[in-house]
Structure 1
Amino acid sequence: MALVKLGQDPDSPEGKSPTVYLDEETGNYVLQGWKVLDSERLSQMDIPDHETVIEFPQRMMQFFPEVKGVGSTDA
């Protein structure tokens, strides 16, 4: 699997997270962000056991090609 880093939160302490990646094989995005541990928010979602929830700031949307106006990233 080849992951391509599309962008990292410039306001993140130490520049380590959140990060947006593109999986070149599947065309899917892989997101690194903050774990959502707040039980009140989690209780409002139906999360299957094989999934998890992360949070990342709205300012990170700029790194998605579709938002940049670059178009789709069909794999």
Structure 2
Amino acid sequence: MGAAAAAAFGPSSPGFVIVVLVMLGVGSWLAEMITTSIGKGQISAMIRTGSLIAAIISVVMVAWKLLNLFFNFTQGKL
């Protein structure tokens, strides 16, 4: 069971990105809520933008890796 979880959610796996995105979403939401409540709306907007950029980069990296695996598989390199 542990090996299956490590294969699905371990580092450099597609499931790992899901975990990262959930943690990023919760962390940025909490940070935005705190900064907005103390009157720092500009910092809140920067947090939102930074978390969005980090989420996009993490998804693109995994998509690139999966596309490379797919193309290597179709060429018979795997």
Higher share in helix: 2
Higher share in strand: 1
TM-score, normalised with respect to structure 1:
0.29
Larger Rg: 2
